[in-house]
């Protein structure tokens, strides 16, 4: 049996303020001194999920909830979902493949799953197995879906604003912004400025790179995309209705009262839901479920033969 479980929230079960509170509350969970179970913490703009291993999954689940009650000062339990064993494995594969994302089959989540897994330590064989296999399965599913022309986050942003002949400001040198800048350059968009903490470490041809001091003059730009990290709002003050701002960060980077046309991640999720093609979801889930059943059977056979708790990571 796969002695694994997951407790989490996502954009479907919790609104943005609650997701922000939960993300802050679990930020120190990786310390075993705080929570004495092996864990992998996956925290993104759309979800916070805690994968854990325990011989007694009910006990581990109970201890995890007790820990969260001490860290989060708002009611949250009604927003959480839980999966155990093979259902947890299936859920992780869906997440890594982007099937549970706001944008169907978006690619950023797979990198985030890989980073979360690589950042964890002292994991047992069960967690090593499901994360390695989930990354492999999700890659196969994504390859299949790309052949079917599924949408991407970048295409959604492209449709929500006019980009040609506009002054663009990207805030944060995150994976999302790096990918979107490449997307815009491929579309022939110029006048792109990137604001980051360490401009000297960035070398991207075709754009201007500056430090964050430029954010006090954000009103000089037409479209702003925030996808960075900060302890407070990076974009504040009064804008104009001609400004379009995308805040893709959790916690948010943009003051909700900024006085411009603002799309936070919650509003983008809603727009995507209204334009999402759900026909391909069933095919992808069927493909994942077949792999999960097959791999779970392999895991049971190996554990019966005495599989070592040390499992080789994906490089």
Q: What is the DSSP string of 195-220?
A: E-S-GGG---TTSEEE-GGGGGGGGG
Q: Which of 45, 88, 93, 226 is catalytic?
A: 45
pLDDT band at 33 (very low <50, low <70, confident <90, very high): low
**Res. 315: pLDDT tops 50:** no
Cross-strand bridge partners of residue 83: 6
45 is catalytic: yes
Domain boundaries, the chain: 4-148+280-304, 153-273
Neighbours of 298 (CB within 10 A): 11
Looking up tokens 């040198």, which residue turns up? 173
In terms of DSSP H, where are the helices of 190-278?
265-275
CATH architecture observed for domain 153-273: 3-Layer(aba) Sandwich (3.40)
What is the DSSP pairing of strand 261-264 with strand 223-226? unpaired
- What is the pTM for the complete model shown? 0.70
**Distance in angstroms (rounded) separating the CA atoms of residues 302 and 166:** 58
Distances in Å between the Cα of 37 and the Cα atoms of 56, 124, 182, 209 are 11, 10, 40, 43
Mean pLDDT of 88-96: 96
- Range with lowest mean pLDDT among 47-51, 189-193, 280-284, 298-302: 280-284
pLDDT value for 93: 96
With residue 304 as reference, give the H or E element that holds it. helix 279-304
Protein fold of 4-148+280-304? Beta Polymerase; domain 2 (3.30.460)
pLDDT value for 98: 87
Mean pLDDT of 139-150: 72
Q: Retrieve residue 156's tokens.
A: 């959604």
**Rounded (10°) CA dihedral 48, 113, 272, 165:** 120
- Domain 4-148+280-304 matches domain 153-273 at the CATH topology level: no
**Nearest one of 174, 160, 167, 157 to 218, comparing CA atoms:** 167
Over the chain, what is the mean pLDDT?
87
**Nearest one of 127, 134, 210 to 172, comparing CA atoms:** 210
* Per-residue model confidence as pLDDT tens digits over 38-75: 999 999 888 999 999 999 999 999 999 999 998 998 99
* Per-residue model confidence as pLDDT tens digits over 209-237: 999 999 999 999 999 999 988 888 999 98
**Nearest one of 232, 260, 230, 263 to 248, comparing CA atoms:** 263
**Res. 283: pLDDT tops 90:** no
Looking up tokens 């470490």, which residue turns up? 201
More confident: 291 or 248: 291
Q: Retrieve residue 259's tokens.
A: 């006085």
Looking up tokens 């703009």, which residue turns up? 45
Distances in Å between the Cα of 193 and the Cα atoms of 142, 161, 200, 242, 288 are 31, 17, 14, 18, 40
* Per-residue model confidence as pLDDT tens digits over 237-273: 888 888 999 998 877 899 999 988 999 877 887 787 6
**Distance in angstroms (rounded) separating the CA atoms of residues 153 and 105:** 9
């Amino acid at each position: 049996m796969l002695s694994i479980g997951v407790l989490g929230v996502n954009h479907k079960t919790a609104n943005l303020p609650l997701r922000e509170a939960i993300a802050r509350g679990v930020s120190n969970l990786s310390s075993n001194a705080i929570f004495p179970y092996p864990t992998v913490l996956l925290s993104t703009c759309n979800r916070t999920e805690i994968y854990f291993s325990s011989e007694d999954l009910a006990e581990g689940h109970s201890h995890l909830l007790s820990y969260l009650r001490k860290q989060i000062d708002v009611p949250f339990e009604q927003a959480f979902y839980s999966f155990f064993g093979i259902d947890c494995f299936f859920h992780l594969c869906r997440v890594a493949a982007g099937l549970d994302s706001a944008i169907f089959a978006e690619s950023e989540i797979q990198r985030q799953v890989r980073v979360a897994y690589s950042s964890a330590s002292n994991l047992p064989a069960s967690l090593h197995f499901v994360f390695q296999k989930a990354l492999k399965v999700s890659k196969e599913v994504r390859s299949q879906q790309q052949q079917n022309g599924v949408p991407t986050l970048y295409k959604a942003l492209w449709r929500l604003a006019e980009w040609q002949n506009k002054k663009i400001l990207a805030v944060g040198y995150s994976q999302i912004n790096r990918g979107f800048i490449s997307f815009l350059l491929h579309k022939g968009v110029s006048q792109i400025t990137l604001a980051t903490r360490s401009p000297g470490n960035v070398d991207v041809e075709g754009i201007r790179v500056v430090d964050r001091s430029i954010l006090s003059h954000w009103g000089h730009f037409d479209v702003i995309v925030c996808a960075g990290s900060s302890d407070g709002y990076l974009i504040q003050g009064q804008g104009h209705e001609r400004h379009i701002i995308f805040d893709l960060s959790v916690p948010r980077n943009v003051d909700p009262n900024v006085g411009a046309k603002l799309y936070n991640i919650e509003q983008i999720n809603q727009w995507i839901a209204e334009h999402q093609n759900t026909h391909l979801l069933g095919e992808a889930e069927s493909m994942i479920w077949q792999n999960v059943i097959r791999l779970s059977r392999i895991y049971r056979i190996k554990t019966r033969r005495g599989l070592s708790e040390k499992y080789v990571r994906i490089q």
